[in-house]
Chains A and B, each alone.
Chain A
């Protein structure tokens, strides 16, 4: 077999192998992926007793901490609706309004969803946050 034919065969084999490997990767990603539900999808279709993964951005002004429970709303990226979540457990440090968050929830009373304990994950911010200027932010030992 002349060298150039040998090289061509090598190239074809290598490319086929690469294609097969890539296809395997792509195929498994679709089955390994965990479905993220938006707020709107949950409001429409969530049934009680089933656990869903809610993903979205924390709505500005919606965060309340009371009696060891964290309350916040998650916005739907497509529609002007939001879902109220009641969460207990570990809150990741980067959690704040306007940040991406993922949490496992179940449908509770009305439009409130109860978060599963310790299942919250925040995304590293993929958008620089520009907060509007607010007057005064000193701590206890400052002048204000």
Chain B
């Protein structure tokens, strides 16, 4: 089957190349037949890659270890769900996933626009197929998913235990969907610049894909943060790690783009800015894909050792040079049709928001690449940590959220005093009340930034509520409907507007959760024996009893903890540390089960008020003497087996292994029977759960904004306006 897979990749590569040629020829000489053929090549590519991807998935599900990727990333003991998702934990599988998603989303985009953007679509097809060819070239020549092993192993290496988490398994498909969906507006922008059609049609066709990309990428980022919080044993969700930052960069510029494109739609302004933004976003998406797999941030020299670094760098260089060149070449067509009427208008607010978002992106970019920059400039490698990032990100994010509350209240073109009075009074009052009320909350003003931010969030939430209320009332004025129906009606007919407002509210809640949970967090590292307690932020956490479990894949040593506050039971926490066996036999027959990787199972009690988080770090030093005795005993037994007659040897070995397993289980059990002090980390974070709640609200808002109105309703609406405007036309024609 692997040969079929390899062959399919070559077929796909040929189809992608044909797609480039046919689309370009059709656009400039051959006509619609060739353009249609080029588009069909994209559909065919999606079909062929679906077959190839299916072959890889089936190999994983069947644990077919003749496939190199399966042997190195899965095992027979891996649960089925993780077998299926292990496919993209590998370099090769993730590349195939990327190009498959690219082909699927490109097919969707081209199918939805096949009757429109007739000039731009063929060039966009060629650009998308260029990306596809690039990734397929990587999978054919550099990192082959269908490489086979001459000697098929009995068992695979297994999936990295840290990745065994549902969030971590959906994280790559979501991220890659985001990246590939952003390449669609990128491709359409290139097409529009080449064919000089950067007007209304281009905006309409790319805006929805930019929004879908923003949504998928955002979900992917949040899933990664959630994994970090609940799976990694450090209790945080964001570390300004280069890999995290890589995915944030296109998301920031993408957010700027979906706002500033509204200005171009209405006023024909900011064309150069928008073109540059969308081209930068597409390039940053490829840059993000590259950062995670090239090793460049470990060091320039490690990068050179990686086989993928150079091709990616060439692609990114071409994208940057091509983008800049195209924008400069077509600058005449990108001239603004209008000018900014007033600095007090929604256009101006959007412009300021864009500047802030780009500034945020620059800070993140600079901090991420600083090790390389400092090495190039000073010769010494230096890195900046979270404190440096926070110093600049926090005020910028503060302003962005504030603007998201102010913007919707400001009308287009120009702001008047009357609209200020009507719009700002209630949200402003809410902000003031919140800030003052927090004075009464003990300790709230110990962190003034968090308290002020709470005021800003109150402003945003009340302004969104105000908009929803007024929209509902406006609809009730014309169509006497009960309140819930009217609300649903006005939202349904203005999805982009209200979807956007919901996103603002959700994002404000998310950042409030971030601000409060980090400013008012209490953490404690303490060593406890069973029966002992620790006190954290008013909670008494008692180590009730130790647990141990020896399973097919790992040994788990853990604890059950009881959390009380003022004598009242709050929660029972269970946390374990899993020890995976190592392959290093020099650690001993028994010892190797305790000498490999270990990972934490976090004990988490999430609540609307606060999260209580714990991990255990059981020190296995006290077990070492017993382990050493076990090593010696079994070593002697293994030698003894050699003296057993050959026909009985296999049975003797099997018995020995069973005894060994029992011994290992017994050794682990000592943690329960004669427990010693274990190290715990306890963290109490107020309002941490609101981060995830805010994220869900944000993404529901994005989904609402994305949802297309049914065609019949659209036609009704435009027909109505067409009739009225036609009457005007008739009047003016007199």
User: A7 CA to B336 CA in the complex, in Å?
Assistant: 13
Smallest Cβ-Cβ distance to B363: which chain A residue: A25
Which of B201-209, B258-266, B595-603 forms part of the interface with chain A?
Answer: B595-603
CA distance A35 to B375 in the complex (A): 10
Q: Are B555 and A135 in contact (CB under 8 A)?
A: no
Closest A residue to B667 using CB positions:
A140
0 or 1 for each of B62-84: is its CB under 8 Å from A? (1 = yes): 00000010011001010000000
Q: Does A131 reach chain B (CB closer than 8 Å)?
A: yes
Minimal Cβ-Cβ distance residue in A for B600: A93
The reply to whether B295 and A127 contact each other, CB–CB distance below 8 Å, is yes
Taking CB atoms, residues of chain B closer than 8 Å to A91 are 598
From A28, A77, A126, A128, give the contact of B90 (CB < 8 A): A128
Any A CB within 8 A of the CB of B665: yes
The answer to whether B242 touches A126, judged by C-beta atoms less than 8 angstroms apart, is yes
Given the complex, which residues of B lie within 8 Å of A90, measured CB to CB?
525, 617, 679, 681
Are B664 and A140 within 8 A (Cβ)? yes
Contacting residues, chain B, for A35 (C-beta < 8 A): 380-382
Q: A127 to chain B: closest CB distance in Å? A: 4
| Assembled-state Cα–Cα distance A137/B63 (Å) | 14
Interface pair B555/A139, CB less than 8 Å apart:
yes
The reply to whether B162 and A34 contact each other, CB–CB distance below 8 Å, is no
Tell me the dominant secondary structure on chain A's binding face.
loop
Q: How many interface residues does A have (CB within 8 Å)?
A: 55
State the CA gap A90–B552 with chains docked (Å): 26
Select the stretch in B14-22, B27-35, B120-128, B298-306 that faces chain A. B298-306
A55 with B381: in contact, given A126-B243, A140-B593, A141-B551 (CB under 8 Å)? yes
Chain B residue at minimal CB-CB distance from A141: B552
Q: Assess the B384–A25 pair: CB atoms within 8 A.
A: no
Interface size in chain B (residues, C-beta < 8 A): 89
Dominant SS at the B interface? Answer: mixed
Quick check: B72 and A21 within 8 Å, CB to CB?
no
Interface bits B362-374 vs A (CB < 8 Å: 1, else 0): 1100110011001
Within 8 A of B (CB), among A79-99: 90-94, 96
CB neighbours of B241 from chain A (8 A): 123-124
**B367-A29 in contact (CB<8A):** yes
Chain B residues near A125 (CB, 8 Å)?
Answer: 243
Does A111 sit within 8 A of B, measured CB to CB? no
Residue of A nearest to B624 (CB): A67
Assuming the A-B contacts A92-B232, A127-B295, are A140 and B665 also in contact, with contact meaning beta carbons closer than 8 angstroms in the complex? yes
Which residues on the B side are within 8 Å of A132 (C-beta)?
72
CB under 8 Å from chain B, chain A span 11-68: 14, 18, 21-22, 25-26, 28-30, 32-36, 38, 55, 57, 65-68
Known: A36-B371, A68-B620, A128-B90. 13 other contacts (CB 8 A): A29-B384, A32-B384, A36-B381, A90-B681, A91-B598, A126-B292, A127-B302, A130-B90, A133-B153, A135-B155, A139-B550, A140-B550, A140-B555
Q: A residues engaging B (CB < 8 A)?
A: 3, 7, 14, 18, 21-22, 25-26, 28-30, 32-36, 38, 55, 57, 65-68, 77-78, 90-94, 96, 100, 102, 123-144
List, sorted by A's number, 6 A–B pairs whose CB atoms are closer than 8 Å: A36-B380, A124-B241, A125-B243, A131-B72, A139-B580, A140-B581
